[in-house]
Chains A and B, each alone.
Chain A
Amino acid sequence: MKVYFRTIKDLPVEEHFGPGQLTCAGCGPSIAIRWLIKAAGSDIIVVNATGCMEVTTTSYPYTAWSIPYLHVAFENAAAAASGVESALKALGRKGILDTKAKVMVIAGDGGTYDIGLQSLSGMLERGHGVLYVLYDNEAYMNTGIQRSGGTPHFAWTTTSPVGSKLRGKVQRKKDIMSIVIGHHIPYAATANIAYPIDLANKVKTALDYLDEGPAFIHVLAPCPPGWRYPEEMTVEIARLATETGYFPLYEWDHGRIRLNPPSNTHLDKSRRKPIIEYLKRQGRFSHLTEDDIKEIEKEIDEYWDYLARLIKAFG
């Protein structure tokens, strides 16, 4: 990533994502989008998938967006964005309209890992110059906390309840970054609302690459009602996700993979905080047994081992 912003004071003062939305107090995705749009500036067109951020920011006759915004449906944000990008290209080339804008998708985990995966893959394969931002709050929060492909192992949701036979989500979280990187696009990165400067620089870097093809940013964005923690803890919990190694910050930049601070020291497990620090603050994990926690720890270690091998091959 290129460094455009060194401190929070380097970020633009302008806000293009307005206050007064209908999000819950402590909403992680809302924080994510504020940083995203701040970094991106006003010359963008946002294509939003159906989800929390769509229903809370566009309630007619109000809008939180002072940049052009399009919402079509749940599973097709990448396809609609492909159309917007193609339109700007064609109209510019033919001298009909000269709309200068970068196209950015904002979609949740349901709209990306699950129902929107096909249209995302299509957009990446076709090479549209679109930045696709996944804000991951790890379940279908808009419909009231149902499990998605992005929900972690053992997490409680209303469709992965804690019962006498099954205890939370049975399956592991899908590795969306590997799926995206498998399309060999110029740039893909993870980011976290607790690290806004890292996030902002990744957004700028990604936007600069759009002439070459698509870019993807996977932002972890905690959800107080869905993860079951007090709303003032959102940023702290997000930070713990990275500090414990649960959500490593890294980027895929033109075939090279690189860990970003603070995750760049986390190949050494002793530098990571114990996973219990992250889990114990969230009601969705309150049913975990010692064995469950060991299992989660093992899965995180396995993922780090996978990352280590990737870095060895593509570092």
Chain B
Amino acid sequence: MMEAKMLGIREEIVKERLGLTSNYAAAYAVKTVDVDVIAAYPITPQTTIIEKLAEFVANGELDAEYIPVESEHSALSAVVGASAAGARVFTATAAQGLEFMHEVLHITSGLRLPVVMAVPGRALSAPISIHGDYQDIMNARDAGWIMIIASSAQEVYDSIIMAYRIAEDQRVLLPVMVSYDGFLMSHTTEPVELYHEEYVRKFTPRNLSRYRLDPRKPITVGVIASPDWYYEIKYQAVHALRESKQVIKEVHEEFNKAFGTNYDLVEKYMVDDADYVLITYGGASSGNAKEAARRARERGLRAGVVRIRLFRPFPADELVNAVKDAKIVAVVDRALTPGDVYEGPVFSDVVSALYSRNIEKPVISVVHGISQRTMLADDFYNLYKMLDEYAKTGVYPRSTVFLGLRS
């Protein structure tokens, strides 16, 4: 009944169904929300986004100023300037580019500018690697941005539309990063349903009442704050990020209603009765984990998957609720925190969330898919078997498990 109703909505709002990579899906979303200023600098695996946007602008399909900047640092700086002047802006990057703009990441959130950026994640040099993982994205996690990690091209398209609505909400005014798997998604063609412009525009009205640079009402942006003031000003941005979760939830609910989708801050897959839960993010990890959960269930293991879709602010309650009844949980990271207690970055978030809600259970840190090391559904199936064994023996690893690593 519910599905039939959703189908009905989508028949009306879907304009066309195209085969698109996640990068092209991102570009189509940017076009549909009528962005005013784009700053573009090429870097693999992001480049095809800005190529597609250049085509849209060159063909007059998108009326925007396209600034072909000379570096990623300038890319984010240019959209910061444009956003401060009142424009709706977009840029995209990955890997070394995201590192190069790192300084400006903090400034963007500190200035409370609703910048939206797409980042197909990629491994960091050295050694240089163009292939996908999430090291770049994890390094950006303390920059005060809202961070969404999508798992399909459709979700990338939908998330970028939602991102503008969230970022520009007067209660939020923070930048949003929409990330996804470099190559495994950025360069993989999937069917994507694109919406009629009018529905998207209606969902993403411009916030023209926010502060902006205008001689008629001069403001000073980007001040120096003494220790007397810095803490309070920074806390406001920290508080806004924490509180943005409520707005993000609202926007998800409204989006689901308007577009017949079913997004949530975390995606739960067969977790209701699950003993063994894999916590994942991104496309390839989550897809493989789901396939493995199905196989494990066929073999009598009660397996499930929780995919983290909203990464910052971290959906602690939603995550804890999803896994609270599981016997044992494993967090599959595609990035590293060298020298930390465990080497998986999201593992630490999960443990902290559980501990803060007084939930004690074994949590395993797993790292896989570094620089796009092939992840097989079998690897994840074996992980479920390992969890089963750990649960039975009560003995489990107290350090990170590196899957797919040659010895």
Residues in A lying within 8 Å of B, measured CB to CB: 42-45, 47-48, 54-55, 58-61, 63, 65-73, 75-76, 78-84, 86-91, 93-94, 96-97, 99-101, 118-119, 121-122, 125-126
Contacts and interface: CB of A to CB of B under 8 A. Distances in A.
B220 interface: yes
B80 A87 contact: no
Among B63, B103, B224, B225, residue most surrounded by chain A Cβ atoms (within 10 Å)? B224
A43 B215 CA distance: 6
A97 B86 contact: yes
B7 interface: no
A89 B74 contact: no
B219 interface: yes
A118 to B, nearest CB: 6
B36 A94 contact: yes
Interface in B86-103: 86-87, 89, 103
Nearest to A128: B67
A106 to B, nearest CB: 13
28 contacts: A45-B213, A60-B226, A63-B220, A67-B218, A68-B220, A69-B221, A70-B221, A71-B221, A71-B223, A76-B73, A80-B80, A81-B81, A83-B78, A83-B82, A83-B89, A84-B82, A86-B67, A87-B86, A88-B85, A91-B85, A96-B86, A96-B206, A99-B216, A101-B213, A119-B77, A122-B69, A122-B71, A126-B69
Contacts of B75: 79
B58 interface: no
Contacts of B208: 96-97
A295 B51 CA distance: 53
B68 interface: yes
A79 B78 contact: yes
B224 A54 contact: yes
A146 B205 CA distance: 49
Interface in B186-231: 206, 208, 212-216, 218-226, 229
Contacts, number: 176
A73 B70 contact: no
Contact of A83 (B37, B219, B222): B37
Interface of B: 36-37, 39, 63-65, 67-71, 73-75, 77-87, 89, 103-104, 107, 111, 206, 208, 212-216, 218-226, 229, 233
Contacts of B73: 75-76, 79, 119
Contact of B233 (A55, A60, A76, A87): A60
| 6 smallest beta-carbon distances between A and B, as pairs | A83-B81, A71-B222, A122-B70, A79-B74, A80-B81, A76-B77
A93 B65 CA distance: 10
Contacts of A70: 81, 84, 213, 221-222
A72 B107 contact: yes
Contacts of B37: 83, 86-87, 90
Nearest to B84: A70
Residue among A43, A45, A55, A59 with max Cβ neighbours from chain B (10 Å): A45
Contact of A82 (B81, B216, B223): B81
B226 to A, nearest CB: 7
Given A58-B223, A73-B77, A94-B63, A87 B82 contact: yes
A29 to B, nearest CB: 16
Contacts of A119: 70-71, 73-74, 77
B347 to A, nearest CB: 33
B81 to A, nearest CB: 3
A87 B36 contact: yes
Nearest to A75: B73
A100 B215 contact: yes
Contacts of B84: 70, 80, 83-84
